[in-house]
Amino acid sequence: MAVIGTLSRDLVRHPTLPRLLSGELRRVSATAQCQGLDALVAWGKPSCRKRSEALAEQTGLSLFRLGEGFLRAYAEHEDFPSLSLIVDDLGTYDDADHPSRLEALLNAEESPLEGIETETDAAMRLLISERLSRYNDAPDLDVSLLRSDDRERVLVVDQAQEGERGRTSQRASRFEDMLAAASAENPGATVYVYAPCTGNVSQTRNHEPSGNGVEVGRIVVLRERVNPWSLIERMDRIYTVSAHIGFEALMAGLPVSVFGMPWYAGWGVTDDRLPCARRTPMRTVRELFAAAYIRYSRYLDPETLEPGDIFDVMRWLTRQRRVEGRIQGRRVMVGFRRWKAANLGSRLALLPARLSRVPNAGKAECLGLGPQDALVLWGRDIPSDVALLSACTGTRVLHMEDGFVRSVGLGSDMVPPYSIVLDERGIYFDPGQASDLEHLLNTHRFTDDELDRAERIRDWIVKHRITKYNLEPHRVPDWEAQGREVVLVPGQVEDDASIRYGANAVRTNLELLKAARRAHPDGFLVYKPHPDVIRGGREGHVVLSEALEVVDHVETELSVISCIEACHTLHTMTSLTGFDALLRGKRVVTYGEPFYAGWGLTDDRARDAKALARRSRCLGLTELVAGTLLLYPLYWDPVLNGYTSCEAVLRRIIQEREALMAQTGLMFQRLGYGRRQWLKLKIIYRSFMWERRFSR
């Protein structure tokens, strides 16, 4: 692995750069510290670049200039690390005063399309159809800002002065000249000036009128950031100095007039108002895309955090847009404690501006909610005032809970979840009413791709012994069953919502043990208490002497998966362990109405079970896995701060568990009161800093 030096402390701490560079980043500040380095990299302010260039000249090391790729991230904030990277040993693509590696690719005798024609066309189609750009958090254009009687529309892109690079662009940056040309060359058109706020820094704009949609004669000013594709599709021609939207307009087939010299100008596809003698071949838009987006850019596979390709990044960005778009407006967390809201809020909204936390419905009402917004509650119960507010405003109510593959560690120890569920109909553990999961399993027509993925996920879960919390060691039990049928009875927290709402005749761990013994008088019964009950603070403790009157063995050390693998049959009220046992091909007997019962896969003993009666469809195990693990939950990546796949979370859990196993043997000790309060403060502080960064 190459060792690469940088003057920037931020680059060394960057979560994705070392992987994109395929090397180890090391911070240096002087010539003496450069021994053992293979190269230097520079990224950032011109002053940093100049210092890096001087250090490279002193040491004789190669210098690579870094920049963001053309599909960078969901939003332009440091909490969304780069998914693509430019690495250039000649210059930077956005500085036309000097050559760059991109320019060299386009100047080469061989076409940059050679050998990647199919890949290029597929990438262009996907990028356009999914409306992806460098950043992807902006809403679509509000078409009411456009004049309804326009015969023709011309877009003039106003750029912030400090966003331009190089003397060539600066000489051509007189906005008034470009605006005058657009008006003169399109006498019957309405000229729309796109001058969006940049978000992080207050910048001086070239066009003075303030306000969004302000009209001055034939000119309309648009100041709100919008998805560039929603703007391009409403225009007939584009004028720009060097903005990247100019190339996106070329991909959409629009004529583009360029008053600077961006990377895509000078190749015969733009109307250029400045010459660039270095750029001699004529190139098509396809060739420009192939050179810039495929050959010149490096990409991270967000699923594996290893080097990937453009399709990996486009799939990731598409997922962010799709999941974020499930709720068009604000997400209002009602009744969440501050530390819990801080731990879970990012899972609800990628940007804090779309998220609010209120103590009750009265405070929520002050927000002026509407049908596009959502009230988010933890668990099953809906307070009457929240239900009334929802009915009056049309605001949706979503029930939030942990997902089925949650974390390495317990939620009660404030370990943040890798997965959550958001359910509008009910919640999966409450059989009193249909949940989104139950509806999905009753009605969804599973595709071949979903079933193939589900089968692979099931195999992976079984192979790597993954469960919800993943915190106990694995080994083969040494039970003395002496050839008898081994029956596993996992304990539950008796005041848990799944017991309160999903069990009737059998509602305690002791009752469950007795029912299992009646069903298997000669079996070898193993009782596995719930870890939260063992560590205290939750209901469900069974006195050891009482348990041993019924069972043959009480297991407190081995993981529940080790126990499942060693058993033949599992008896449970509503425990998720029953689902884990189904994944591993075990016979499962239920006494309640868990989400996985009633589909023809379990032996169900509950009486007068209305939920089981609603489940009118027989499912295969693979279909149950697809609905439960692929389609129902949301999965979260804490490194990239975005929504990811079930497969990616399984990889992270395996990696984290193996690392913890090597360090601690994996068994977690329950946190004391002081430690828990300290963790809460840290979580709240991180949330405060997160909100502060986005509000700048």
pLDDT at residue 451, rounded to an integer: 98
Q: What is the pTM for the complete model shown?
A: 0.89
Sheet containing 256-258: give its strands across. Answer: 214-216, 219-222, 190-194, 153-157, 237-240, 256-258, 271-272
Give the span between the Cα atoms of 273 and 281, in whole angstroms. Answer: 18
Between CA 515 and CA 170 the distance in angstroms is 82
pLDDT digits (tens, 9 = 90+) for 348-402: 999 988 999 999 999 999 999 999 999 999 999 999 999 999 999 999 999 999 9
> Across-strand partners of 331?
355, 374
Cα angle 64, 65, 66; round to 5:
115
Angstrom CA distances, 227 to 63, 224, 486, 532, stand at 35, 10, 60, 47
Q: How far is CA 372 from the centre of its chain?
A: 21
Q: CA–CA separation, 302 vs 310, rounded Å?
A: 11
* DSSP-assigned letter for residue 368: -
Q: What is the dihedral of CA 220, 221, 224, 225, to 10 degrees?
A: 90
**Which is it for strands 84-88 and 63-68: parallel, antiparallel or unpaired?**
antiparallel
Distance spanning both ends of the chain, measured CA to CA: 38
| pLDDT of res. 342 | 83
Which band of pLDDT confidence, cut at 50, 70 and 90, is reported for residue 347?
A: very high
Residue-wise pLDDT tens digits, 107-137: 999 999 999 999 999 999 999 999 999 999 9
Mean pLDDT of 654-677: 69
What are the C-alpha distances in Å from 80 to residues 563, 638, 690? 41, 10, 11
The secondary structure element, H or E, covering residue 525 is strand 524-528
User: Mean pLDDT for the chain?
Assistant: 89
The answer on pLDDT for 260 being more than 70 is yes
Q: What is the pLDDT of residues 446-463, one digit of tens each?
A: 999 999 999 999 999 999
* Residues 21-58 pLDDT 10s: 988 999 998 888 898 999 999 987 777 888 999 999 99
Please tell me the predicted confidence (pLDDT) of residue 168: 44
DSSP-assigned letter for residue 630: I
Q: Are 138 and 66 in contact (CB under 8 A)?
A: no
Q: Which CATH number fits domain 117-162+171-199+209-301: 1.20.950, 2.60.40, 3.50.50, 3.40.50?
A: 3.40.50
CA distance 488 to 78: 48
What integer pLDDT is reported at residue 204 of this predicted model? 35
Cα–Cα distances (Å) from 478 to 256, 481, 545, 553, in that order, read: 75, 9, 21, 11
CB 389 within 8 A of CB 364: yes
Q: At 42, give phi and psi (nearest 5°).
A: -135, 140
For 466-637, CATH gives 3.40.50
The b/e string for 619-640 (b: 16+ C-beta within 10 A; e otherwise) is: bebbbbbbbbbbbbbbbbbeeb
CA dist 499 to 156, 431, 591, Å?
62, 11, 10
